[in-house]
Structure 1
Amino acid sequence: MSTERRLRLPGIAYGGDYNPEQWPEDVWAEDMRLMREAGVTMVSVGIFSWALLEPAEGVYDFSRMDRVLDLLHANGISADLATPTAAPPAWFFRAHPEALPVDRDGRTLSYGSRQTFCPSSPAYREAALRMADEIGRRYADHPAVVMWHVHNEYGCHNAECYCDLSAASFRGWLRAKYGDDLAALNHAWGTTFWSQWYYDWEEILPPRATGAAPNPTHQLDWRRFCSDELLSLCTAERDVLRLAAPGIPATTNFMVNFSIEALDYWRWAPELDIVSNDHYLRSSDPESEIDVALCGDLMRSMAGGPWVLMEHSTGAVNWQPVNRAKTPGEMRRNALAHVAHGADGILFFQWRAAKAGAEQWHSAMLPHAGTDSQIWQDVVQLGADLRALAEVRGSTTPAKVAIVWDWNARWAMELPSQPSAELCFQDLVRDWYTPLWKAGVAVDFVRPDTPGLDRYQLVLAPSLYLVDDTGAANLTGFVERGGTLAVGFHSGAVDENCHVRLGGYPGAFREILGVRADEPFPLLPGQSVGLAGQVPRGATADLWTERLRLTGAEAVATYTDGSLADVPAITRHAYGSGTAWYLATHPDPATLAAVLQRIGQEAGVRPEHEAPAGVEVVRRRGADADYLFLIDHAGHGAEIPADGVELLTGKPVDGSVTVPEGGVAVVRTQRLTYWQAST
């Protein structure tokens, strides 16, 4: 968070999206009373109110918003005031039909939902900035407004638009990237293949639907452009708001756990005063608490410290095939786990459950059933919990392990025509993250080129298919200087232009890993191979194998069957003053956990605190104390060694603390060094 523009609220912010325009005005007084009862301190307002704020072009009506903000302030509740630009009104599209988005098949999509605009539309940009300016100037000095909420979930439904306006903007982005040198683009895209050479910039189009596989570098640059195009809209609105109110911080809500169309948030985070995220559980995920932790650590890493959870749900969402309700205690565990992983604000979508509209079956803080409901009781309890944890605000999480996360590598690996379509970047990273989480090992996320890797004892690169020379040199230097690096299969294979690094795999990392593969052998769905060596008995692997030979490394495990029987599968190599490991396959979970445990132990990595299986342990570090979060996901309860004060109950802790079944304990302890905390 910016030291100049930061969220000036005491304690941990608590609340949710507030949409009073959906309700008669006589309901608002009840909203205020119930917000105070729940301990709400901040709500997001105006996110989808464009049609009411500007009923006709250039005609504004802020009377309702004036009354809402005045009412919030009178009740001691702060506002995260949004620019409502995620949902342009119908009149805008009647006037500017060219601003509607076009899909890759050439279909123009209609308005009638949200985010139905082309990010490259000049008409949309002009209208959005005009609205941001009106809001910024009108409310710059309103005492309720403590943060600007720019837009909402950029790219959620319109990360890509393939219209002619987007095509022209794409060409402009390419000309800037390649220095107006068309030959440089042709080289980067490898356009001699399939007669794709371009002789004029006007010949270049977005990667629209074609009869065969499109050019991978064309697609990769397109994804980069789409992320940058939306970022340019975000920063343009931010600048308008900063001009009106220089001291009010600005945010926009990320969505780090969503699909390949996600934006490159490493580029976005430095542009915001406060980094925030929306996180929703997937009903099909049997261990969704791991995703909560992973996304929290990723957000904390991008923010460089505390961040804000802008949205999550009290219960079910409305957009999955089956939207399961949360089990007893799950909402509280989720919310406090976000705090454990760095969140200084806990907000929901939304305050009052809608009775009409596309999200009428999305849960809320105040459900359809009203206050006579379990959700309401849980919401009130969570408000009390967060008040009890106020002193945690601003504390950080020390970590000695880093995982490399790169959106360019993710986009590139998940493009068509790979050796295997079964590979998913997020799944591979989570597979490596999970045993660390279960062991209570704190994790940061880094880019391949993040400076200062020497502060970590261990760096893991589970899936780094694409890496540029700078990133590869940064990871190599980390090992040379004494660090321990572990690399997953199919990493280092291509450069930033998706060109294969010749000479054998794993490309950029052959030398430091001390291995060379001449051919990948991806496995079919359901196929597995056995592993033998310094791995658990009965170890197996699936998804991927490689014909690997040693060029200095030692074999830790080999395949026991299949076409690569006796070929190395997991290797270890002393390089410079450090050590580099290669996992040329995808071990079963128990084997992967055992291998990562050995790698971590050799690197000197230790858990934050001992705890039984099923109890998540996270430490946040304050200026004068540490805060030990203990979260029981197994439902068995636990007795954990600790000394200090349990903040949720206010009771002293002398020797041990009881974590209730399915519950949470947060102990303020003496501030420890990393080494003390690890032993």
Structure 2
Amino acid sequence: MQREKLLHGGDYNPEQWLDRPDILAQDVVMMKQAHVNVVTLGVFSWSLLEPREGEYHLDWLADIIHNLYSNGIFTILATPSAARPAWMAQKYPEVRRVRSDRTRELFRRRQNYCYTSPLYREKVRAIDEQLARRFGEDPAVILWHISNEMGGDCHCPLCQAEFRRWLQRRYGSLGALNKAWNARFWSHDYTDWEQIESPAPQGEDAVQGLLLDWKRFVSSRHIDFFKFERDCVRALAPKARFTANLMYRFHDIDYHDLARELDVVSWDNYPTWHKATETVEQTALDTAMMHDLFYSLKGKPFLMMESSPSFTNWQPVTKQKKPGMAMLSALQAVAHGSDSVCYFQWRASRGAEEKFHGSVVGHDGRSDTRIFRETSQVGAALEELACAAGRQRPRQAALVHDWPNLWAMEGSSGPRNCGMGYWKELACHYNALARAGITVDLIGQDADLTGYGLVVVPMLYLLREDFAAKLCDFARAGGTVVVSQWTGVVDESDLCRLGDTPYGLTELLGLRRAEIDGLYDGETRRCQPVENAPLPLPATQASVLCEVAVLDEASPATPLLLYGEDYFADAPAAAVHPYGQGRAYYLASRFTPDFYQAFYNALTEEAGLEAAAPVPLPDGVLATRREGLLFVQNCNPAPVQALGVELPAYGTAVWQTNAGELRRML
């Protein structure tokens, strides 16, 4: 990949315009005007690349790639497997997915393939090898994009058989499986592997170990399919590099596992700006958390593979970005570790589902629009910030986000079946740290904690024994750990831990969970700070879940906050406990945003974590660091003063930092 520059461009679908050479010529002219230096080609091109079985047409693609390259524009080349052609669905029904109700799909939409089907894999191998032979050593192609937005599941007989083989490898015997799934409950013991089927609306949906393992299996199938495609190309193009475009808060795939197979992480970023229900700053923080997640998957820069230059057509309301927002959202990605700003789509499609999706060039084909002008301004800014490419982010705080934990918690019954609000819980901690100017990595339970000053563990319901030990070792060596409610409840099979909980952490925290009360939506409990506590905290309200903790008799935690009402009044709602050279904080409920801000402002100072900006910033202004660069962004609809400069509405300023001195770049 080109590391001396930030990439700017996006999805390009010239196959829709092959009958209009004038439009194709106009595209190249306008791309250069917009400072575009990369496009993604081939994402959904299979029906043109192979219009009939075994008949390959690649010349049109080669012409496009080489014409772009001669004009200074590189290609990220996608494999077309995300949407197979109609002739294949008609001739080979096994390639069509089967839904959970066991209905085989007709030819439809995209992500419409069975990832287990040997026949489909052979068809994918054939087209991928054609592409690899033609473009595997082509200097115009800087990255391979495998499939597109992988997701969904298939319940066909082939997948059922593979699921049983997967379970046999995982458990070894039916006895071990029955124990892990607690199958004796409701007389669910399995006596033959063939009795096991995937979850179904008219079938099994109450064995939570089965639900969790099905999620793991589906994730592993997607990852296996990615590896299959990657290796098909790599066999003929050994120097090729690979990515897959990941998605916002995505549920179906354990991205920590998938990232190990990627050379570069990329993701598709589509926030809804200017919502009536939240401020621009709140939307920016939600987006920032996703950027930080995708950076954290490999601990190095990622690509923003898709974003909208204006609006989307699939969200509830098609809301335009206001003036300045295109620049703010683009530079936010760069600030958080992206080496690209790319869009879906370059030119608006004339028909079908995405004809009204935002694009750099609209149906009018004009370059004198606000969207085109602001896109061009982004491209020019990225050229000024070319030095940011490849730069790392500082390692300060880690927030634990684990896919098996998410699957297990969502699949469980109780203590709140109306929603546990897992992502809201993550945001409570993340937003406060980000507002304090602290860099946050989102890590899984396999992560190395070396180098972090703070590790936050929100609602880690499924806590692995080895990770509990790792947290204790981290605190013992001088680190600070924060553990929230509903942590350390079950093992890796979703079996409740026996004995005191949070499992593996009671000694670290100096307390144990005695019981937990689920609150209705809108229901709260008053909490009051403890006088003369070692960490002063504000009064607040508890919501969602209220844990009732009992302090350890031999080495008790020190309460910081007490419940002020209900039968658990005077029980600790927050506490701290020294452990080795470090300390552990316990939060027994979900509190109000002002609580988290005060808590983390004090905690990060105590832990010695340095804020990104050298002085406090106005409300709604966020600061982010990236190896020698400081980005400061105004999320307010009016100008503000920050670090001695005026930032316009939605404005961004960038400084180079050297030995504490700031030199403005942008």
Instruction: Tell me if TM exceeds 0.5.
Output: yes
Would you say the 8 A contact 2:529–2:539 is kept in 1?
Answer: no
* 2:251 equivalent in structure 1: 260
Between the aligned partners of 1:446 and 1:434, the Cα distance in structure 2 is 16
Between the aligned partners of 1:60 and 1:149, the Cα distance in structure 2 is 20
Between the aligned partners of 1:170 and 1:671, the Cα distance in structure 2 is 56
* 1:311 equivalent in structure 2: 306
* 1:646 equivalent in structure 2: none
* 1:142 equivalent in structure 2: 138
Q: How does 1:633-644 map to 2 (within 5 A)?
A: 633-641=635-643
* SS of residue matched to 2:149: coil
Q: How does 1:626-637 map to 2 (within 5 A)?
A: 626-637=628-639
* 1:665 equivalent in structure 2: 653
1:201 aligns with one of 193, 199, 202 = 193
Query: 1:300-327: per-residue Cα shift (whole Å, max 9, x none)?
Result: 1112211111011112112122222212
How far has the Cα of 1:247 moved from its partner?
A: 1.6
Letter in 2 for 1:485: V
* 2:69 equivalent in structure 1: 73
Letter in 1 for 2:14: P
1:28 aligns with one of 20, 24, 27 = 24
* 2:184 equivalent in structure 1: 192
How far has the Cα of 1:537 moved from its partner?
A: 5.2
Q: How does 1:210-229 map to 2 (within 5 A)?
A: 210=202, 213-229=205-221
How far has the Cα of 1:424 moved from its partner?
A: 2.5
Between the aligned partners of 1:140 and 1:273, the Cα distance in structure 2 is 16
Between the aligned partners of 1:427 and 1:166, the Cα distance in structure 2 is 34
Would you say the 8 A contact 1:367–1:376 is kept in 2?
Answer: no
1:56 and 2:56 correspond: no
Query: 1:431-484: per-residue Cα shift (whole Å, max 9, x none)?
Result: 110011111111122222312x24111111112111111111111111111111
Between the aligned partners of 1:15 and 1:409, the Cα distance in structure 2 is 36
How far has the Cα of 1:259 moved from its partner?
A: 4.3
Between the aligned partners of 1:671 and 1:27, the Cα distance in structure 2 is 51
How far has the Cα of 1:143 moved from its partner?
A: 2.9
1:543 and 2:544 correspond: yes
Q: How does 1:432-451 map to 2 (within 5 A)?
A: 432-451=429-448
306-315 or 212-221, which deviates more? 212-221
How far has the Cα of 1:418 moved from its partner?
A: 2.4
Between the aligned partners of 1:105 and 1:112, the Cα distance in structure 2 is 17
Between the aligned partners of 1:592 and 1:281, the Cα distance in structure 2 is 24
Between the aligned partners of 2:37 and 2:353, the Cα distance in structure 1 is 27
Query: Structure 1 vs Structure 2: percent identity of aligned residues?
Result: 37
How far has the Cα of 1:671 moved from its partner?
A: 5.0
Query: 1:233-261: per-residue Cα shift (whole Å, max 9, x none)?
Result: 11111111112112221111111x23433
* 1:172 equivalent in structure 2: 165
* 1:395 equivalent in structure 2: 391
Would you say the 8 A contact 1:632–1:663 is kept in 2?
Answer: yes
Instruction: For structure 1, list consecutive stretches of 5 or more residues without a partner in the other structure.
Output: 1-6, 642-655, 674-679
Letter in 2 for 1:221: D
Task: Give the aligned length.
Answer: 642
* 1:523 equivalent in structure 2: 519
How far has the Cα of 1:25 moved from its partner?
A: 2.9
How far has the Cα of 1:508 moved from its partner?
A: 2.9
* 1:647 equivalent in structure 2: none
Would you say the 8 A contact 2:296–2:441 is kept in 1?
Answer: yes
Letter in 1 for 2:157: D
1:99 and 2:91 correspond: no
Distance 1:115 1:408, change over 3 A: same
Query: 1:61-116: per-residue Cα shift (whole Å, max 9, x none)?
Result: 11211211121112111000110110000111111112211222223222221111
Letter in 2 for 1:277: W
Would you say the 8 A contact 2:324–2:649 is kept in 1?
Answer: no
* SS of residue matched to 2:411: coil
Would you say the 8 A contact 2:400–2:455 is kept in 1?
Answer: yes
Distance 1:627 1:174, change over 3 A: same
* 2:127 equivalent in structure 1: 131
Would you say the 8 A contact 1:493–1:508 is kept in 2?
Answer: no
Letter in 2 for 1:474: K
Letter in 2 for 1:631: Q
Between the aligned partners of 2:265 and 2:9, the Cα distance in structure 1 is 17
How far has the Cα of 1:9 moved from its partner?
A: 5.0
Between the aligned partners of 2:515 and 2:501, the Cα distance in structure 1 is 8
Instruction: Return the TM-score normalized by structure 1.
Output: 0.92
Between the aligned partners of 1:566 and 1:94, the Cα distance in structure 2 is 68
1:280 and 2:270 correspond: yes
1:244 and 2:236 correspond: yes
Q: How does 1:503-652 map to 2 (within 5 A)?
A: 503-534=499-530, 538-551=539-552, 552-609=556-613, 610=615, 611-621=617-627, 626-641=628-643
How far has the Cα of 1:210 moved from its partner?
A: 4.1
Give the RMSD, CA atoms, in angstroms: 1.7
Between the aligned partners of 2:43 and 2:450, the Cα distance in structure 1 is 42
Between the aligned partners of 1:382 and 1:671, the Cα distance in structure 2 is 29
Would you say the 8 A contact 2:42–2:80 is kept in 1?
Answer: yes
* 1:410 equivalent in structure 2: 406
* SS of residue matched to 2:504: helix
Between the aligned partners of 2:610 and 2:73, the Cα distance in structure 1 is 42
Between the aligned partners of 2:29 and 2:591, the Cα distance in structure 1 is 54
Letter in 2 for 1:275: V
* SS of residue matched to 1:544: strand
* SS of residue matched to 1:303: coil
Letter in 2 for 1:470: D
* 1:293 equivalent in structure 2: 288
* SS of residue matched to 1:419: coil
2:375 aligns with one of 375, 379, 392 = 379
Between the aligned partners of 1:502 and 1:213, the Cα distance in structure 2 is 24
How far has the Cα of 1:129 moved from its partner?
A: 1.6
* SS of residue matched to 1:247: coil
Between the aligned partners of 2:467 and 2:576, the Cα distance in structure 1 is 21
1:183 and 2:175 correspond: yes
Would you say the 8 A contact 2:327–2:374 is kept in 1?
Answer: yes
Between the aligned partners of 1:394 and 1:671, the Cα distance in structure 2 is 21
How far has the Cα of 1:273 moved from its partner?
A: 1.2
Between the aligned partners of 1:61 and 1:662, the Cα distance in structure 2 is 46
1:16 aligns with one of 10, 17, 22 = 10
* SS of residue matched to 1:423: coil
How far has the Cα of 1:148 moved from its partner?
A: 0.7
35-44 or 357-366, which deviates more? 357-366
Between the aligned partners of 1:593 and 1:418, the Cα distance in structure 2 is 29
1:332 and 2:327 correspond: yes
Between the aligned partners of 2:21 and 2:107, the Cα distance in structure 1 is 28
118-127 or 425-434, which deviates more? 118-127
Letter in 2 for 1:258: R
Between the aligned partners of 2:578 and 2:4, the Cα distance in structure 1 is 50
Would you say the 8 A contact 2:205–2:211 is kept in 1?
Answer: no
Letter in 2 for 1:664: T
* 1:419 equivalent in structure 2: 415
* SS of residue matched to 2:339: strand
How far has the Cα of 1:672 moved from its partner?
A: 5.3
How far has the Cα of 1:211 moved from its partner?
A: 6.6
1:45 and 2:33 correspond: no
Would you say the 8 A contact 1:488–1:585 is kept in 2?
Answer: yes
Between the aligned partners of 1:76 and 1:405, the Cα distance in structure 2 is 40
Letter in 1 for 2:391: S
Between the aligned partners of 1:259 and 1:544, the Cα distance in structure 2 is 25
How far has the Cα of 1:351 moved from its partner?
A: 0.6
